Chain A
């Protein structure tokens, strides 16, 4: 009841502003509308809480109670994303360089691998890794276990490596041919040209799409919940099952969405800034 009492005096003010709204400029009016809607929503939520039986904890209290556990799961998602990105980038750079190889078979094979893994759905590749990799390796006489979370990281690294491969190829091809020709005329070898002249310039252009890929990967890490690994998504569902409250579904899932948003949105913004900074002036 206390929340309701705080909000009640504000209600007439909101209604009053709606009355005078007709004469206001449209931008101002829409802002007033939003404010009115927000207040209405707050009153409604407060009323819903107040109407709930006293012995049942409020939705907010439950959300606060489960937040640390779900956040822990979210940190695991981030760990998986970093590991899969590191693995995928290391393999993808090699594959990308193979795509610009002068050896025809190497080029064709790496192109085919890249296209295959780039065009297959992430979830299918994850299933692919989960089911087809063995659960233990036998090296000599020693049996090394191969846990599910490691397989999941490999499964997520597959699409990453294909995308990194395309980013590397695209970055190298974006450097004007004149750079290659002038370096050749200065008697640089092909390897020297690539490492000393082309790649240092190309890396700048590869960073924005690479960061974009990382954000996509971070969001894709929730897929591991589908193949039975405990992550933020699994924990959210577990919390909902434990509480068995339908009114908790919206807040908890929204909280999970917000965690990802808070992590991925700054990355997206920074990517845009870098894109603008590294843009080719034409």
Chain B
């Protein structure tokens, strides 16, 4: 580790290529905290957006016309408006409309903080896409398969759980993967409301050390690496879940 730090220190002095996060402990810590925040934020948003998608897809198949209509309005609205404005809408407008709470020091703080609103906003944004993805997956399961399951004595719910959903999930995994990759990239928007994620951490470093060029390269490579890991994981998962003879 020392050798690496020395190398980068030499690089900064001799060639003015200043990758400060490689030798400066403070900068490195900031960057790693940012990286961890991005990973953590992405993970939470992936989980909750899938949940939003499942609930939405389930409501879309409901008998109540109002529920279906509401899901349609939700999906179309969140798909066709800018995620950054959605984030501002939640963080500035909805937050101001909610009553503040008192923290343990007696100070008045907003009910949900910036990280909370980032999670809510990104989950709804990606969730709206997930609703459509899951719905199309469920629709892709042939009617005859459902009927066959029913003729074997499956109840509607059991057929759903054991037959329709496993097949639908395999069909929509590629589209879901694309959307999740997009979600990871969307987490950078949290920079706008001051969530200390990767972009925010990098901007802190470059505004102090003035190494925009180097940090920008590091930042781009880190995001490309993060996305590559996610894509690789999803592809392996897809392969592991493949049913021989059933191609989506």
Contact = CB atoms under 8 A, between A and B. Distances in A.
A119 B223 contact: yes
A154 to B, nearest CB: 15
For the residues of B in contact with A, the DSSP-based class is: helix
Contacts of B64: 26-27, 30
Contacts of A246: 96-97
B76 A132 contact: no
The 7 nearest A-B residue pairs measured at CB: A30-B66, A249-B93, A219-B82, A121-B185, A264-B80, A253-B89, A121-B188
A257 B219 contact: no
A257 B199 CA distance: 25
Contact of A250 (B63, B81, B97): B97
11 contacts: A31-B66, A120-B185, A120-B220, A131-B216, A219-B83, A226-B84, A237-B88, A240-B92, A250-B94, A257-B81, A268-B79
B219 A253 contact: no
Interface stretch (A12-20, A91-99, A122-130, A198-206): A122-130
A265 B82 CA distance: 12
Contacts of B181: 119
Contact of A124 (B76, B88, B188): B188
Contacts of B212: 131-132
Given A27-B64, A250-B97, A265-B76, A257 B227 contact: no
B82 A215 contact: no
Interface string A217-241: 0011111011000000100110010
Given A131-B212, A260-B81, A264-B81, A233 B65 contact: no
For the residues of A in contact with B, the DSSP-based class is: helix
A217 to B, nearest CB: 10
Chain B: number of interface residues, binned into ranges: 35 or more
Contacts of B187: 121
A34 interface: yes
Contacts of A250: 89, 93-94, 96-97
Contact of B199 (A127, A215, A261): A127
Given A27-B66, A120-B223, 17 more contacts: A119-B181, A121-B186, A121-B199, A121-B223, A122-B188, A123-B188, A124-B188, A124-B220, A219-B81, A219-B82, A222-B82, A222-B84, A226-B191, A237-B88, A246-B96, A257-B82, A265-B80
Given A122-B185, A127-B216, A226 B192 contact: yes
Nearest to A215: B80
Interface string B80-116: 1111111011001110110000000000000000000
B84 A249 contact: no
A254 interface: yes
Interface in A109-166: 115-116, 119-125, 127-128, 131-132
B29 interface: no
Contact of B224 (A120, A249, A264): A120
A242 B214 CA distance: 39
A233 B83 CA distance: 12
Contacts of B7: none
B220 A260 contact: no
B88 A233 contact: yes
A237 B192 CA distance: 13
